[in-house]
Amino acid sequence: MSFTPGPFTVVIPARYGSTRLPGKPLLEIAGKPMVQRVWEQARQSRAQQVVIATDDTRILDVAQAIGAEVCMTSPDHPSGTDRLQQVALEMGWSDDHIVVNVQGDEPLIPPVVIDQVADNLAGHDQAGMATLCEDITALDELINPNAVKVVNDIGGMALYFSRALIPWPRDEFTHGQQTMPQAGNWYRHIGIYAYRTGFLHRYVTWPPAPLEQLENLEQLRALYHGVGIHVARAVQSVPGGIDTEDDLHAVRALLE
């Protein structure tokens, strides 16, 4: 499909509260707070605007100090998607405007994949959302419930996301598999999303879906309501976000 890449905006949700790493957006990485590193990566994309969305004045102060555009949002949002919708509402973006959600704990996010997910949504009118994936090549990742798997149809539209191993290789796993299955392809979902603003306004009116609550995956609310999600292989490997102290130490070591 031929199309001309259009304008889009990046929103970086940055909550101060974190169960495992309190104050995570402000943790220092090679001399800079994490949220600044995410913002700097996003600014290297083609986004016409990059907004930090937070519920905490400490993050607000840091964002303003580095010259970032920042939007204060409610501390009561149940998800990052709800936080994005508040930003879209306050900014007055049109229903067809594309917004990319870049997680505030991904200081190594490649700018090229931000452009990719925005372009993929722009190029697929039947999709309300777009996201990315990458190949799973190791058994421990394949069976890890923290690695979310995705299955697509022939057109690259998501059929389902799950923490379970999908698709299930019945014949190879019948007797207790100890190595990576030979047949089939498995994909790990990468948690970057592009949305149209009109979809965000609809999404927040829907209660959490039963599948979403079971898997604890908010993208399942969209599938539950019949919204198409376009999925493509990331054009560049996307390092994992920072969820634990070990993750933090690894990224610090890499950048220092």
Task: Round the average pLDDT of the chain to a whole number and report it.
Answer: 91
Q: How confident is the model at residue 6 (pLDDT cuts 50, 70, 90)?
A: confident
Question: Which has the minimum average pLDDT: 54-63, 91-100, 172-181, 186-195?
Answer: 172-181
Written as one string, the DSSP assignment of 55-82 is S-HHHHHHHHHTT-EEEE--TT-SSHHH
Q: Is the pLDDT of residue 18 over 80?
A: no
Task: Give the rounded percent of residues in the chain with a pLDDT score beyond 90.
Answer: 71
Q: Where are the alpha helices (DSSP H) in 9-134?
A: 34-43, 57-65, 80-91, 111-122
Question: Which has the minimum average pLDDT: 37-41, 135-139, 215-219?
Answer: 135-139
Q: Is the pLDDT of residue 3 over 60?
A: no
Q: According to the model, what pLDDT value does residue 32 have?
A: 92
Q: According to the model, what pLDDT value does residue 172 have?
A: 72
Q: Is the pLDDT of residue 29 over 60?
A: yes
Which tens digits make up the pLDDT trace of 155-173? Answer: 999 999 999 999 988 777 7
Q: Is the pLDDT of residue 118 over 60?
A: yes
Residues 49, 4: Cα–Cα separation, whole Å: 18
Q: According to the model, what pLDDT value does residue 135 have?
A: 93
The mean pLDDT value for 178-188 works out to 80
Residues 169, 254: Cα–Cα separation, whole Å: 36
Q: According to the model, what pLDDT value does residue 1 have?
A: 46
Q: Is the pLDDT of residue 76 over 80?
A: yes
The mean pLDDT value for 87-107 works out to 95
Q: Is the pLDDT of residue 182 over 90?
A: no
Look at strands 8-14 and 228-233 and give their pairing: unpaired
CATH class (in words) of the domain with range 8-255: alpha beta
Residues 42, 33: Cα–Cα separation, whole Å: 15
Model's pTM, two decimal places? 0.92
Name which of 186, 195, 187 is nearest 132 in CA terms: 187
Q: According to the model, what pLDDT value does residue 183 have?
A: 64
Which tens digits make up the pLDDT trace of 201-230? Answer: 999 999 999 999 999 999 999 999 999 999
- H/E element holding 32? strand 32-33
The mean pLDDT value for 143-165 works out to 95
How would you classify residue 40: left for phi > 0, otherwise alpha for psi between -120 and 50, otherwise beta? alpha
